[in-house]
A and B are shown apart, each in its own frame.
Chain A
């Protein structure tokens, strides 16, 4: 899909529906709402515009792969897979039901999910194995890995950055969901990451830094990756945790959210722009 003209309006509509679904999964047990909202636009772009994978080709060896290394934002992926027909949208209402597999971290029983995750720092190396095999078979698959910025604390990722560069795995595109928050605190207040661009450059990666909520920027960066195949690619996508819902945005205590059904309605109103900010107090369960 890389040569396709940007389907901007469709992506905007899809992203709104995906955010609605994320909010609807933020009750009756809840989910990692803030991190899901920060990467929603990236995941919607990938499935709506970029990845050569469809509901009919989830096992095709020529498909493009997405590995969600920061697995706790899987509500964004569940909702996107439902949006693009990989799973029945009705199935999202089974979120956390014991009878289904729509739980807090990704698993491969959901069509379209390439590998399970949840433990941070794993899927770069798994993606590297896939990327290596694709290159050896002279296939042009793209292997996209979404990692969190807090996840960059994990040493295994830096091990992988070194090795992927050494192996010249130029078919890997890592997207950092740079929402500036760890689970509980701001990244720069705990283990400062900046300047990230220089760190990745020093590891031999091609680095781009973009607005992770702007489809034009994401599209331009991905096209650049397609046109330059000398090194592995990393895109630092500056995002806002909780993006689209002011009551959740950029709040350290909105990591894991479990709202009441009444709260959800207020948050949906915020998302749709009818109210500015409904929920000021931490009235919901935060883990």
Chain B
């Protein structure tokens, strides 16, 4: 859904094509093959499955990177960022090695798995490692578009995996640049990742109620687009931050820190998680946790 950039069919195909183009690229997993089942056949020894061993996967990725390679690690977001946290920090982070750590079923996408699988602190944890960059794409198009840039960046990255089809035509991806959707400034809603689509639904309802609305898809949370945040906070009458993450550590914290550092005065409202969410199928969770478009719009309208 990009106008002038190459479109890849799937994440799996992107990985295959990237390895074919770059003989210094490896793909690793901790036995999380659901969306990359053909990689053993297609990329052979460039695919390494270490079994259910996230620490070893990250340590090995650091070793591969020491040899001048770039490594994509694909594993469940919770176990990648928490079980292997110290390995990410100490082996990848301190050395600032080019390892792209892709977290599967991040945030609310864990659906009915229950709290063990809910990575609602992943972005906060990764933000605590100074060298790790963070990408939270809205849909599969954005994931693929971003990864093309990220793989070549030579830096460590944490990426929230998503394979939901795009519902909008995105502007071209640039690391550190947010995507502004809409023109209004009565209500500005900052979001990232999967919930951006719900926020866009909410924006439609709010506009039907006569409000000018802008949705800001942050895309990368490090580097963060400070200019877009500051400008829109100064312009907006009402500011909301919507994210499927605990209230501490991710976009709300980033924006609050920025407001404090710049000496600004602003009230920001939030829709996020204060604790683990009710497990269930995705649409049911969205309704139960009041994070679907309708509920988000209703909460904002009720607060005006």
Which among A119, A129, A156, A167 has the greatest number of chain B C-beta atoms within 10 A? A129
Q: Which residues of A contact B64 (CB under 8 A)?
A: 129-130, 132-133
For residue A61, which residue of chain B has the nearest CB? B67
Is A11 at the interface (CB under 8 A from chain B)?
no
Interface string of B41-66 (1 = CB under 8 A from A): 00001001011010111111111111
Known contacts A116-B94, A116-B95, A160-B56: does B61 contact A129 (CB below 8 Å)?
A: yes
Does the CB pair B66–A124 fall under 8 Å? no
CB atoms of A125 and B56 under 8 A apart: yes
B56 adjacent to A128 (CB under 8 Å): yes
A115 to B66, CA, bound (A): 9
> Chain B residues with Cβ under 8 A from A167's Cβ?
48, 50
Q: How far is the CB of B71 from chain A (nearest CB, A)?
A: 8
Give the residue name and chain of the A residue nearest to B57 (CB): A125
CB of B53 within 8 A of CB of A162, answer yes
- How many angstroms between the C-alpha atoms of A179 and B132 in the bound complex? 38
**Interface mask (A98-117 → B, CB under 8 Å = 1, otherwise 0):** 00000000001000001110
Chain B residues near A252: list those with CB within 8 A. Answer: none
Report the nearest A residue to B90, measured CB to CB: A119
The answer on a CB contact under 8 Å between A163 and B56 is yes
The A122-142 residues at the B interface (CB cut-off 8 A) are 122-134, 136
Please indicate the chain B residues that have their CB under 8 angstroms from the CB of A159 in the complex. Answer: 53, 55-56
Closest chain B residue to A131 by CB distance?
Answer: B63
Q: What is the number of residues of chain A that contact chain B, defined by CB distance less than 8 Å? A: 28
B91, CB-defined interface residue at 8 Å: yes
| With A119-B90, A122-B90, A125-B56 as contacts: A132 and B63 at CB distance below 8 Å | yes
Say if the beta carbon of B86 comes within 8 Å of chain A.
yes
Judged by a CB distance under 8 angstroms, whether A286 is at the interface is no
With beta carbons under 8 angstroms apart, the residue of A129, A136, A160, A163 that contacts B62 is: A129
Chain B, interface size category, equals: 20 to 34
Let me know if B69 is at the binding interface, CB within 8 A: yes
Of B50, B69, B86, which contacts A163 at CB under 8 A? B50
Q: Is A126's CB under 8 angstroms from B55's CB?
A: no
A166 in the interface (beta carbon within 8 A) = yes
In the complex the two chains form, what is the Cα distance from A116 to B45 in whole Å? 27
Q: Does B190 contact A (CB under 8 A)?
A: no
Q: Which residues 60-102 of B have a CB within 8 angstroms of A? A: 60-69, 71, 86-87, 90-91, 94-95
Supposing A160-B56, A162-B53 touch, asked if A130 and B63 sit within 8 A by C-beta, the answer is yes
Contacts of B90 in A (CB 8 A): 116, 119, 122
Find chain A residues with CB under 8 A from B71 CB.
Answer: 129
Return chain B residues, CB-CB under 8 Å to A166: 51
Q: A156-B55, A162-B51, A163-B51 are in contact. Are A130 and B67 (CB under 8 A)?
A: yes
Can you name the residue of chain B whose Cβ is closest to the Cβ of A123? B59
Rounded to whole angstroms, the CA-CA distance of A83 and B86 in the bound complex is 33
Instruction: Output the least CB separation between B258 and chain A (Å).
Output: 32
Residues on B with C-beta less than 8 A from A128 are: 56, 59-60, 63
A-side contacts of B68, CB under 8 Å:
61
Cβ-defined contact, B59 with A125, below 8 A: yes
How far is A136 from B63 in the complex, measured between Cα atoms in Å?
13
Residues of A contacting B58 in the complex (Cβ-Cβ under 8 angstroms): 125
A136 cross-chain contacts in B, Cβ below 8 A: 45
Q: What is the bound-complex CA distance between A160 and B55, given in angstroms?
A: 9
- Complex Cα distance, B65 from A119, in Å, reads 19
Smallest CB-CB separation from A143: which chain B residue?
Answer: B63
**In the complex the two chains form, is B51's CB within 8 Å of A122's CB?**
no
Across-interface contacts of A61 in B (CB, < 8 A) = 67-68
Q: How far is the CA of A136 from the CA of B67 in the complex (A)?
A: 12
B69 cross-chain contacts in A, Cβ below 8 A? 133
**Residue numbers in B under 8 Å from A126 (CB-CB):** 59-60, 62-63, 66, 91
Q: Check B55 against A130 for contact (C-beta < 8 Å).
A: no
Q: Which residue from B67, B86, B95 sits with its C-beta under 8 Å from A133?
A: B67
Using A125-B60, A130-B67 as known contacts, list a sample of 7 further A-B pairs with CB atoms less than 8 Å apart, ordered by residue number in A. A108-B95, A116-B94, A125-B87, A127-B63, A128-B56, A128-B63, A129-B66
Provide a sorted-by-A list of 17 A–B residue pairs whose CB atoms are within 8 angstroms.
A108-B95, A115-B91, A116-B90, A119-B90, A122-B59, A122-B87, A125-B56, A125-B58, A125-B62, A127-B63, A128-B63, A129-B59, A129-B63, A130-B66, A132-B64, A163-B56, A167-B48
- Where the two chains meet, the residues of B that have a C-beta atom closer than 8 Å to any C-beta of A are 45, 48, 50-51, 53, 55-69, 71, 86-87, 90-91, 94-95
Pairs of residues from A and B, 3 with the lowest C-beta to C-beta distance, nearest first: A129-B63, A125-B59, A129-B60
